[in-house]
Amino acid sequence: MDFDEILGGAQQELRRGTVVLACLLVLRRPGYGYGLLDQLRELGFSVDANTLYPLLRRLEGQGMLASEWNTDEARPRKFYRTSQDGERLAAALLDDWRRIDGSVRRLDQGDPR
Amino acid sequence: MSSLTDRYVWGVLRSVPERQRADLEPEIRAMIADAVEARTAAGAAPPTAERDALIELGDPERLAARYTDRPLHLIGPRYFLDYRRLLAILVPIVAAAVAFAVVLGDTVAGTAIFETVVHAVAAAVGAAIQVAFWVTVGFALVERGDARRTESTAWTPDQLPQLPSPGRLSPVELVLGVTANVLVIAALVWQQAAAPVTVDGQGFTLFDPVLWSFWMPWFIAVAALEVGFTIVLYLNGRWTLLLATVNAVLNAAFALPAIWLLQQGRLINPDLVAALEAIAGGAWFGPTAAVIAVVVAVISAWDAIDGFLKAGRSRGAMGLPAMGSAMPRA
């Protein structure tokens, strides 16, 4: 197995789960599925359409996202928006993210605390 | 809307519960339309754009499974180990039990030995396949049940496997052990039913029919207990002092009455002995009975002692040199 393959696998493991946080943060401003997919990809999150759409629906079912159909444009689209519970979840996940980041920094700088 | 998209949407919806369909359909159509639009805006021809958009979404059944949280495996990591352990215990026991029943039935019916063996093997294989199939179906259903409510059995250190020891019974030994005792039972019943020993054209039973009032049921019961003992020994994985003692008692319960009856001249059918002695002339039966008694005694005694030797060795198995090379020392 060459290095790139190993890196790819490890990165996938590392990034799994960050998509939920990214969705919650991006959807503070209402957005629809395909637009969100585009945005996330531009930001460097590798996510498949067939993973993202079911994920949005799950988060909606859990009350983390709210949704409504927007019929203003030529084609109706379902817009998702982060709910209050979703904000709480995002805040908790962000805390976790920063804690992990801090720990990794300390480890990288050889500080064992 | 073109037919490819329609077919794709149907491909997703048909494996989604009815009540979610109405809700899901416009969502899927919208996201396909968005993906197609983005591609045509980038200059792709509409048919190619549609095709590529659907390819990106992938297998509709996979998408449907993700929407409905259905597993895409038969038995997942949560239950797989329980599943495999149950199979390892059930399959050999059921196969052995079925072989037992078939041999018993065939023997009572007087079927030829070769045919009986073929029947027994076929029935055992069939039973093993049935058990494996239904256990698999059961676990697959549990996997698809409420995943949060059904916890898999918690693992405890008591489930650790025994170290390989000289007395450990293999599945083959289990089947052989069970089959041997079944054959004994079958033979006892068969010789009574078929009267297979022919002298001068007259059929005799080998053993005295009077014994059916007590001793024949006794021998059959002891052989049945031996079957149970073999299964317990297999499940336990190793010989212990207790198991060796039970084994010795069972051996004694079989051999002592057999030898005693033989010496008393009550074991073999007296009519048969009389008929044989009438042909051969002279009382040859006494010495023959003595030889048979010694053989039975030696075999039983050896089996009993062997159990104790294995119990002793399996207690000392930790120190076996073979284990030293396979296991790192702390």
Q: How confident is the model at residue B330 (pLDDT cuts 50, 70, 90)?
A: very low
Point out the residue among A33, A48, A58 whose CB comes nearest to the CB of B31: A33
DSSP E strands in chain A: the ranges are: 31-32, 65-70, 77-82
User: How close, in Å, is residue A54 to chain B by CA atoms?
Assistant: 5
Residue B312 backbone dihedrals phi, psi, to 5 degrees: -65, -45
Question: Which residues contact residue B298 at a Cβ distance below 8 angstroms, ignoring those fewer than 6 apart?
Answer: none
**Percent of all residues in chain B with a pLDDT value above 70, rounded to a whole number:** 89
pLDDT of residue B146: 61
Q: How confident is the model at residue B310 (pLDDT cuts 50, 70, 90)?
A: confident
User: For residues B186 and B178, is the Cβ–Cβ distance under 8 A?
Assistant: no
CA B326 – CA B19 distance, rounded (Å)? 58
Mean of all residue pLDDT scores within chain B: 83
**Percent of all residues in chain B with a pLDDT value above 90, rounded to a whole number:** 26
Q: How confident is the model at residue A26 (pLDDT cuts 50, 70, 90)?
A: very high
User: For residues B95 and B237, is the Cβ–Cβ distance under 8 A?
Assistant: no
B283 alpha carbon, distance to own chain's centre: 49
Can you give the pTM of this predicted structure? 0.59
User: How close, in Å, is residue A77 to chain B by CA atoms?
Assistant: 6
8 Å CB contact of B58 and A50? yes
Q: Taking an 8 Å Cβ-Cβ cutoff, which residues of chain B contact chain A? A: 26-28, 30-31, 33-35, 38, 56-58, 62-63, 66-67, 69
8 Å CB contact of B27 and A53? yes
Asked whether the predicted pLDDT for residue B319 surpasses 50, the reply is no
CA B134 – CA A2 distance, rounded (Å)? 43
Sign, CA torsion B70/B72/B75/B77: negative
List of chain A residues whose C-beta atoms are within 8 Å of the C-beta of residue B58: 48, 50
Q: Any idea which residue has 């000289």 for tokens?
A: B166
Residue A80 backbone dihedrals phi, psi, to 5 degrees: -105, 150
8 Å CB contact of A49 and B56? yes
Compare B323 and B104 and report the one with higher pLDDT. B104
Asked whether the predicted pLDDT for residue A15 surpasses 80, the reply is yes
User: For residues B89 and B235, is the Cβ–Cβ distance under 8 A?
Assistant: yes
pLDDT of residue B323: 43
List of chain B residues whose C-beta atoms are within 8 Å of the C-beta of residue A76: 26, 30
Tell whether A101 lies on the interface with B, counting CB pairs under 8 A: no
Task: Compute the CA torsion angle B101, B104, B108, B113 (nearest 10 deg).
Answer: 120
